[in-house]
Structure 1
């Protein structure tokens, strides 16, 4: 199992207009804000899974945190075992789900989080260990808030082993002792000091991501809906079923577009919480066609743009969300590709939400764009 360094896993950016925490930890291997080789992303995510499996392989329930850790959580769950249940928190409205556990992510730009709970009691009864997965844990407040809410409705979790798994752990000794007192153990790839980076990011002079300009003449693209719909981990999935579902979804792209070894440089772009299917598709294109593939996804996070050499986010656009046309979302560090495949599980069909992303991709020289819905 590969060991990772701070240099490999961490870049520091400045949040745009967030006074609660002015800095943002950006992981260049995670496949979220920065384009990355999908195999490199999956290798890193699976490394966390291997650590968790070694110490907590008996777990049969893994809970990931939206938005950035949805793929991290799934990768951990699939290493533990196909019979694991995987579910991640969400900020989306899902009318079919009537029962939610709500909690706060205090430092975030969007503080409200929730977990679909209709089947939670059943899943809790089948595991003695619950693994909570985030990309980074700095103070432990979010996971403590969440577990405190869970205890109100499910007092039986006091009898469970609770595990906070993350790529980066910056929890201080004092906060770690607090977590342990609440029965929460920690496991991670990289341990760092809990340093307040507020002063560090003051040196960066940032601007807001550029607002897209609606240009109807520039927004055409091919759009396909796969007859194998993507399962929804927001509602909970069997890990083996979801992995197989995403792999079948990836393979069925063949029936819509010509894929060959001359496809050139390819971007597979996820949308917000829908990250794992994009990484799976990107990895398949690499392995089957030896293509030069990159993956990342759109995000709710407003990150400042800066041209300093050591700054990770040098370009970005503010666009309409694929899940709510009244909500803004962002895409960063767009490059020029021979083919862009947008992967989404959004059921919203509104020209505004597709047009804004396609317009900014075309503005950066991307002329062959495919929208692939699952």
Structure 2
């Protein structure tokens, strides 16, 4: 008879990274922690570790149905509320997560008013920008666009509840910074809910959120715990990860969440039907989002999965991560938004999949063609949710 592991052992992790030593104490969700996250080392002087989610679709390939189940679970943590509710997803890593949580909540609460908007590191249009800081990020400046549509703007300004979505909570500082920025716009906000895959703030800090924020705060996470990190003498490269120019048009779209949405995106069913018919039975397919453009790729992947395709979803990123631990492979290429910063795709190697589909919001450019060349991929330009154009790469 096999002995069962001591639950106390499941709740402890000591991880020695190239960048330092990470100690974790896990509470609720410890039994599924290994299925939900791994550990990686950031090439980042501000923070040398990464809780790398295996269900986020950013740094690790995941089946779309697995992602959608996580969206449902986090949406279910939002307490009953009155009045309009605003969901804000944190760029860039959690944009797809936040949009999925919003759509899952809408599905479970038909007829209730809600707004989705995601933070960004790009300007779109000429409207007002709200700036706040994600201090530990490699690219710390974040922005929230004011919706330009009068009805969506009214939702933001009349909301009583904020739901802030990120893959993990470790200090709560970024959530607090964004909440304060939103309350300056809308003093009527009277409660905040934080929805995260992991919460590593610790029990005391989590219990003290309401006092710290100055209004009722609740939190829903799949894994809870706390951490300590002791940096080593690793020296991170001094590569720029952000070159914000308020006058530059980076080709980022206004139609997928930056200026607000009050309904779910439509999946590209016709495109999925055509592609599924092209793939041989059993072919492996990767659908990649690019940078902040993530959720449309998930919807395409989900539509392919419903048609029996063996598909995984993930995304490119500007985050520099060392090839260690949960990151077994890394590719570097130029960013398709034209900032001149390095972008990466992790845990996908050339030839690993029979087909690679790259979904992007920017017009085709040399950076996208370079990525397509590295992975022998096809490019799909999402000009709107109903207009997707395949871009020739050969």
- TM over 0.5: same fold? yes
1:231 maps onto 2:261 in alignment: no
- How far 1:151 sits from its partner (Å)? 2.6
User: Which secondary structure does the structure 2 equivalent of 1:5 belong to?
Assistant: helix
Change (3 A) 1:102 1:205: closer
Aligned partners of 1:143, 1:128: CA distance in 2, in Å?
16
Return 19-28 or 82-91, whichever deviates more.
82-91
Which residue of structure 2 aligns with residue 60 of structure 1? 85
Q: Which has the higher helix share?
A: 1
1:132 maps onto 2:164 in alignment: yes
| TM-score normalized by the length of structure 2 | 0.76
Aligned partners of 1:321, 1:47: CA distance in 2, in Å?
33
- How far 1:174 sits from its partner (Å)? 4.5
User: Which secondary structure does the structure 2 equivalent of 1:85 belong to?
Assistant: strand
Which consecutive unaligned segments of at least 5 residues does structure 2 have? 1-28, 108-112, 240-252, 383-394
| TM-score normalized by the length of structure 1 | 0.79
Change (3 A) 1:184 1:145: farther
Aligned partners of 2:276, 2:201: CA distance in 1, in Å?
47
Give the counterpart of 1:370 among 369, 372, 378: 378
Give the counterpart of 2:184 among 135, 152, 156: 152
Count of aligned pairs: 328
1:361 maps onto 2:385 in alignment: no
Return 258-267 or 68-77, whichever deviates more.
258-267
- How far 1:175 sits from its partner (Å)? 3.1
Change (3 A) 1:275 1:237: same
Return 104-113 or 174-183, whichever deviates more.
174-183
Aligned partners of 1:128, 1:153: CA distance in 2, in Å?
12
Return 57-66 or 162-171, whichever deviates more.
57-66
- How far 1:231 sits from its partner (Å)? 2.8
User: Is the 2:45–2:236 contact (alpha carbons within 8 Å) kept by the matching residues of 1?
Assistant: no
Aligned partners of 1:76, 1:236: CA distance in 2, in Å?
15
Which residue of structure 1 aligns with residue 331 of structure 2? 317
- How far 1:49 sits from its partner (Å)? 1.2
- How far 1:67 sits from its partner (Å)? 0.7
Give the counterpart of 1:169 among 199, 222, 235: 199
RMSD: 2.8
1:80 maps onto 2:105 in alignment: yes
1:349 maps onto 2:364 in alignment: yes
Which residue of structure 1 aligns with residue 303 of structure 2? 284
1:266 maps onto 2:274 in alignment: no
